[in-house]
Amino acid sequence: MLTVKLIIGVGQTKPLSSDSVVPLGAIVIKGFETGSERRSVPASVSVFGIKELQRFDGQSFVAVLNTAPGVRMEERSPGSYRLSVRGSLLRSPFGIRNVKVYLDDFILTDAGGNSYLNLLDVHAVSSVEIIKGPAGSIYGTGTGGVVNLSTNASFPVSDSGKKYDRLTLQLGGGSYGQFSQHMTWQVAGPRSSLTIRQGHYQSDGYRSNSRMNRNLLQADWSTRYGKGNTLRAFMLLSGLAYRTPGGLTLAQQLADPRQARPGTATLPSAETQRAGVRNTTGLFGISDTRQIHAKWQIRTAITGAVTDFENPFISNYEQRAEVNLGVRSILTYRDKWGFGDIGWISGFEWQRGFYRIDSSGNAAGEPSGAKVRDRIKALQTFAFTQAELRLGTAWLLQAGISLNRFEYNLDRTEGLPQYPNTDISFDLQAAPRIAINYQPLRSVSLHASLTRGFSPPSIAEVRPSAGGFATGLQAERGWSHEAGVKGSAVRNRVQFDLTVFRFDLKEAIVRRTDASGAEFFVNAGDTRQQGIELFTEGYPVNRTDDGAWLRKLRLWSSITASDFRFGEYAVNNTSFKGKRLTGVPQRVYVAGMDVHLKKGFYVHTTFNHTGRLPLTDANDVYADAYDLWQMRAGWKGIVRSWKVEVYVGGDNLTNNLYSLGNDLNAFGRRFYNPAPARNFFGGLIFSP
């Protein structure tokens, strides 16, 4: 079978049915390795499927993940991602840290604590799960949470004995020079399948010095053997390059939000220095899922990654060669006993990273001057076990714990000042979790949990880009308390998920910058992070009658109310006790309306209100609140046996001036990275 899609703007792998209501309990969650329905999982988990991932422009995760309560994803320029889950952004000037990321069974987060999420193509992801808060009892280090990405590369193996073949082609375009091209080829036989993806994306960016270019090749092969066993091989090659325009002062943003960071008397401009990132990465994996007994299953995945990374910055030039290896193995036992169902999940994860990091001066985008070369080794291992007991349909009890070991070896092989070969080893850390879920009614469940989190400093914090070793940094740690209620009413037409939590963090790691803009990190003290998260959706209208002019009306909202404050927290003998946590808005409200009309017409609108947020630990500067309107409208139908979709969309429709990613505690008060002004996209999809 041959499928060809021509897309200008954004597309999806196939048109989705608009006539069904998916009950909250019908969504199966992978988190905590239980494979339970969403309502039965004693944790706060946000889930996004194809429908949500393709609801906006389809080119990044940002707008999608920002619809989840408690989650804030930022993009300071195309490709420059940051992800905050319940305030975990404090220590991340760029990139994704303190949040563990998995791609199916493979470990995307490296041994040094960094996740290159911007290497991925949204079109190759079929679902995203976000576990909010510490999840170390199963996933090891990290106090922010866990992101589980699933690909849609697993093509259904043909059971008819016939070979199954499909080719998909996509083109896209939009404002500010946005262009994308994607190809997917899938073939399947009686026992095996192969998926190959190729993609290209580019954008000139809204600001000067913010263009982006990414090329990707991905292959996924799987085969069935024996009874219920699967062997899988995975490969991802991604080449990413993007420029970084740099932060602006408030006056500069108001004068010209599209400018890059200008030069000063002591430092050149971002454009002169060709500030940006170049990342070429190969990710390889093989996994085996084996049913060794009717009650026992073992799943093992081996991941390897090789990265060539360059970052010309305003004041320095960093080059990294990285090699990472990882193994994750899980043994699962499930059985029915007289008093209920039991489960036992145990396993281990091992990661080893080797990093060669060079730092020098930057002369118009080329390394110059004296060079410093460091070699760093990172070792991260943990073993975990979790028991769960289900009593009837009402009660689910979970108890788990992991033991974590983390260490670095730092060796300066070239350059001054000299540092002796140094080992940094963190004490063996236990990360326990106890959770309970009670379902008094078929449509309502209550859950509560107590969890301990642990997060050592990442390589980018122990060895920042300007050079030097921060050997005195301590690991963050803390206890999280969480309770919530999930449910539905009116025959699943109204659904809700409410969570309250408190997380007390010790030894918080905070970013600082010096006069040249070079960053460094310190342990500044304690934080108290508590809040309320609520997601609701309702279907006042949901008809399957083709004659009805209004087929479906979906209303949904996401509310985050945060009270995050510093506890005993001081920098340079200045106390910030009681101040609001830097970079976290107190209130975020996101709402949407999806209207599906007769003859296949639809309109999706989204409103995002993000409250003002402090830009410094002293809370003496705040970013203003902003309102964001987004829309997508179109038509789906059949033309001569072809499925056709035509649509248009827009972002920031009221043309607000706002920053989607601020530089916190920035020297010279260069806090602001203006987001794109009003912009549009459109699309056309053909599918036979």
Whole-number Å distance between alpha carbons of 455 and 144: 9
Which pLDDT score, from 0 to 100, does residue 8 have? 36
CA dihedral defined by 82, 87, 92, 98, rounded to 10 degrees?
-90
Using alpha carbons, list the distances in angstroms from residue 520 to 185, 279, 468, 511, 661.
46, 22, 9, 6, 19
Query: When comparing pLDDT for 153 and 263, which is higher?
Result: 263
Is the N-terminal amide bond of 268 cis, ω within 30° of 0? no
Query: Can you say whether the dihedral through the CA atoms of 562, 566, 571, 573 is positive or negative?
Result: positive
Least confident of 276-290, 467-481, 599-613, 651-665: 467-481
Q: At residue 106, does pLDDT exceed 80?
A: yes
Which one, of 305, 270, 260, 271, lies nearest residue 116 by Cα?
305
Q: What is the pLDDT of residue 110?
A: 95
Mean pLDDT of 189-201: 90
Average of per-residue pLDDT across 671-682: 95
- Considering the chain, what is the average pLDDT of its residues? 89
Residue 595 — pLDDT band, cuts 50, 70, 90? Answer: very high
% of the chain beyond a pLDDT of 90: 65
- Give me the mean pLDDT over the 12-33 stretch: 55
Residue pair 614/582 in contact by the 8 Å Cβ criterion? yes
SS3 for 40?
A: helix
Element containing residue 52 per DSSP (H, E) = helix 50-53
Contact 252, 669 (CB under 8 A): no
Q: Which sign does the torsion angle of CA 273, 274, 277, 280 carry?
A: negative
Distances (CA, A) of 183 to 6, 13, 36, 158, 279: 11, 11, 34, 22, 22
Q: CA-CA distance, 267 to 241, in Å (whole number)?
A: 23
Name the band, by pLDDT with cuts 50, 70 and 90, for residue 41: confident
User: Tens of pLDDT along 270-301?
Assistant: 999 999 999 999 999 999 999 998 899 999 99
Q: What is the pTM of this model?
A: 0.92
Nearest partner of 484 among 447, 534, 435, judged by Cα: 447
Q: 486-498, pLDDT tens digit by residue?
A: 999 988 899 999 9
Query: Looking at the predicted structure, is the pLDDT value of residue 232 above 70?
Result: yes
pLDDT for 5 equals: 39
Mean pLDDT for 441-465 is 90
470: confidence class by pLDDT, cuts 50, 70, 90: confident
Q: What percentage of the chain carries pLDDT values higher than 70?
A: 92
Confidence of residue 2 (pLDDT cuts 50, 70, 90): very low
CA dihedral sign of residues 142, 147, 148, 152: negative
With cut-offs at 50, 70 and 90, classify the pLDDT of residue 515: low
What's the one-letter identity of residue 122?
Answer: V
pLDDT higher than threshold 90 for residue 547: no
pLDDT confidence of residue 563: 96
Question: pLDDT tens for residues 308-361?
Answer: 999 999 989 999 999 999 999 999 999 988 778 999 999 999 999 999 999 999
Task: Find the mean pLDDT for residues 462-467.
Answer: 76
Residues shown for the chain: 688
* Least-confidence region, from 11-15, 260-264, 562-566: 11-15
Backbone angles phi, psi at 553, to 5 degrees: -130, 115
Q: Which domains does the chain have, with CATH numbers?
A: 24-687 (2.40.170.20)
Separation of alpha carbons 643 and 684, rounded Å: 11
Which whole-number Å values give the CA distances from 621 to 107, 574, 618, 663, 678, in the listed order?
38, 17, 8, 12, 26
pLDDT of residue 330: 97
Three-state SS letters, 136-191: HHHHCCCCCEEEEEEECCCCCCCCCCCCEEEEEEEEEEECCCEEEEEEEEEEECCC
The pLDDT value given to residue 305: 98
* pLDDT tens, residue by residue, 117-146: 999 988 888 899 999 999 999 999 889 999
In sequence order, the 6+-apart residues with CB closer than 8 A to the CB of 251 are: none
Range list of β-strands (E), 26-86: 28-29, 36-37, 45-48, 71-75, 81-85
Task: Please determine, for residue 16, whether its predicted confidence score (pLDDT) is greater than 60.
Answer: no
Range with the poorest average pLDDT among 10-24, 211-225, 656-670 = 10-24
Mean pLDDT confidence for 66-77: 94
pLDDT for residue 13: 34
Task: Answer for the pair 406, 110: CB distance below 8 angstroms, yes or no.
Answer: no
CA nearest neighbour of 124 among 65, 31, 200, 197: 197
State the burial class of residue 197 (Cβ atoms within 10 Å of its Cβ: 0-12, 13-18, 19+): buried
Residue-level pLDDT at 83:
92
Report the alpha-carbon distance of residue 83 to residue 128 in Å, rounded. 14
Our CA dihedral for 29, 31, 32, 33, rounded to 10 degrees, sits at: 60
51 pLDDT band, cuts 50/70/90, is confident
**What pLDDT score does 182 carry?**
85
Highest mean pLDDT among 141-155, 437-451, 453-467: 437-451
Q: pLDDT-based confidence at 632, cuts 50/70/90? A: very high
Q: Answer yes or no: is pLDDT of 48 > 50.
A: yes
pLDDT bucket at 4, cuts 50 / 70 / 90: very low
- Tell me: pLDDT of 644 over 90: no
For residues 146 and 560, give the distance between their C-alpha atoms in angstroms, rounded to a whole number. 19
Give the separation between CA 130 and CA 81, rounded to whole angstroms. Answer: 16
pLDDT the model gives residue 6: 39
User: Tokens representing 482?
Assistant: 């969480």
